[in-house]
Amino acid sequence: FTVSQGQGYRDNQSPGVSVFPDPAQSPFVNLQLNQPLLRGFGSDVALAEVRLARNLERTSIYQLKQSLLATTTDAERAYWNLALARQNLQIQQRLLERGVETRDILANRRVFDVRPAEYADAVATVERRKGNVIRAVNALRNASDELKSIINDPELTTGGEALLVPADAPVDEPITFSLLDALTAAIDNRPELQRALLNIQDASIRRQVADSLRLPLLDLTAQARFQGLNEDLGEAYEDITEAQFVDLLAGIRFEQPIGNRAGEAQYRQRQLELMQASVDYRAAVQRIVLEVKRALRQVETNYKLIEQSRTARLAATENVRTLQVLERTTQALSPDFLDLKFRRQESLANAELEEAQALINYQIALAELVAATGTALERNGIRFVVPEAAEPSP
């Protein structure tokens, strides 16, 4: 339904031609109704663009939620990588201190039974450990900058030299889980699936419109034109209100393309798009199921590795302690014994690092599990509020 209004002015200056009134004001109001009876009939077709626009808004919301989930997971992963880098630095520093102590013992025995090659080997070992400490410091600063770039705190810019220190210690408490509950939570909360469902809905709306376009064109048209004519503009508008000059027009427009190949081809295209959207949804479900199962396995595996690496670290600690006891005897101060001490120090440091790595991997696996189920925002106390106006009507 359309309403249009206009105004004309005519002033005849032609010699020998007389018109009345002259000059003349001719305003008009035009009312027109166009009603499709076949092609394009119904509210489903008329409101298709409105529904598509609403779905586009919801898609943008789910895209934002997906970005928030990814950012949250990246922040957790960067935090625990920072914690691991700090523990690695502490382990390398302790290893360097043990190496310096052993090197000094060899230096004091150079006049007795330590050959120059054995002392040089000790010096090389200490220098190599110093290099490891330098690399650990660099890795710690890189991990700190990576976390600062994610949290984007204006007071802790990546250009500054402030070093972030993790405040939380990794926990090694087991969790109980249900594969069915995890999969249900993922299907309910993952924004990728919600977007895939919207794609199916959009494809269905477009197919419905394309189905309507296959029908013949049969439109009913009704028009009423109210016109005024007078020298005075106000009186001309009074002619309109009094309906002095009214034109009525009614008509039917019919059109049937021969073969209608364009309409049929477009409908076939929309059918294929709907099938593709359905396939994409199934693929998204399968991908999310795989991510959830893999995340659960990672949690279980990394928790088992914590106990295994801790047992290995305790055994390596006992080896070093045994050497410290034997070191009190004269026989224990031989160059071969000190070389063995070097190697067992390395084994202890590696065991400590493996235990720290297992603990950190467990924390990251937990973060990736809640990310796979789509509940990372709730777990971290982040409220994602969608305005009511963005929700679709039933």
Amino acid at 360: I
Dist. CA 347–CA 311, nearest whole Å: 13
Dist. CA 256–CA 136, nearest whole Å: 77
pLDDT at position 190 over 60: yes
Amino acid at 59: T
Dist. CA 227–CA 246, nearest whole Å: 6
pLDDT, residue 393, reads 46
- Under 8 Å between Cβ of 333 and 204: no
pLDDT at position 16 over 80: no
Quickly count: other Cβ atoms within 10 Å of residue 40's Cβ: 18
- Under 8 Å between Cβ of 128 and 103: no
Confidence of residue 207 (pLDDT cuts 50, 70, 90): very high
Nearest one of 8, 193, 158, 167 to 82, comparing CA atoms: 167
pLDDT, residue 22, reads 76
**Phi, psi torsion values for 204, nearest 5 degrees:** -65, -40
User: Per-residue pLDDT tens for 261-279?
Assistant: 988 999 999 999 999 999 9
The angle subtended at Cα 11 by Cα 10 and Cα 13, nearest 5°, is 140
pLDDT, residue 328, reads 66
pLDDT, residue 17, reads 74
pLDDT, residue 134, reads 96
pLDDT, residue 252, reads 92
pLDDT, residue 392, reads 47
pLDDT > 90 fraction of the chain, expressed in percent and rounded: 55
pLDDT, residue 336, reads 75
Nearest one of 26, 23, 27 to 11, comparing CA atoms: 23
Amino acid at 289: V
Question: Using alpha carbons only, how large is the chain's radius of gyration in Å?
Answer: 40
Dist. CA 99–CA 101, nearest whole Å: 5
Nearest one of 255, 274, 275 to 263, comparing CA atoms: 255
- Under 8 Å between Cβ of 393 and 51: no
The region, left, alpha or beta by phi > 0 then psi within -120 to 50, assigned to residue 8 is beta
Structure tokens at 188: 């309910």
Dist. CA 149–CA 161, nearest whole Å: 13
352 sits in which H/E element:
helix 335-372
Distances (CA, A) of 83 to 108, 132, 165, 334, 358: 38, 17, 8, 39, 12
The pLDDT of 195-224, averaged and rounded, is 92
Q: Dihedral (C-alpha) 73, 81, 303, 308: value to the nearest 10 degrees?
A: 170
Confidence of residue 13 (pLDDT cuts 50, 70, 90): confident
Q: Dihedral (C-alpha) 89, 94, 96, 101: value to the nearest 10 degrees?
A: 170
The pLDDT of 199-209, averaged and rounded, is 94
Dist. CA 252–CA 272, nearest whole Å: 34
Q: List the beta bridge partners of residue 254.
A: 218
Nearest one of 251, 260, 252, 253 to 215, comparing CA atoms: 260
pLDDT at position 329 over 70: no
User: Per-residue pLDDT tens for 130-171?
Assistant: 999 999 999 999 999 999 999 988 888 888 888 999 998 888
Mean pLDDT of the chain: 88
- Under 8 Å between Cβ of 344 and 302: no
User: Per-residue pLDDT tens for 89-116?
Assistant: 999 999 999 889 888 877 887 777 777 8
pLDDT, residue 88, reads 94
pLDDT at position 286 over 90: yes
- Under 8 Å between Cβ of 162 and 140: no
The angle subtended at Cα 111 by Cα 108 and Cα 115, nearest 5°, is 95
Dist. CA 184–CA 138, nearest whole Å: 43
- Under 8 Å between Cβ of 336 and 102: no
The pLDDT of 383-392, averaged and rounded, is 68
User: Per-residue pLDDT tens for 52-91?
Assistant: 999 999 999 999 999 999 999 999 999 999 999 999 999 9
Structure tokens at 383: 């409220």
Distances (CA, A) of 148 to 73, 152, 154, 382: 14, 6, 10, 19
pLDDT, residue 248, reads 92
pLDDT, residue 394, reads 39
pLDDT at position 390 over 70: no
**Phi, psi torsion values for 245, nearest 5 degrees:** -125, 105
Structure tokens at 51: 């529904």
- Under 8 Å between Cβ of 86 and 166: yes
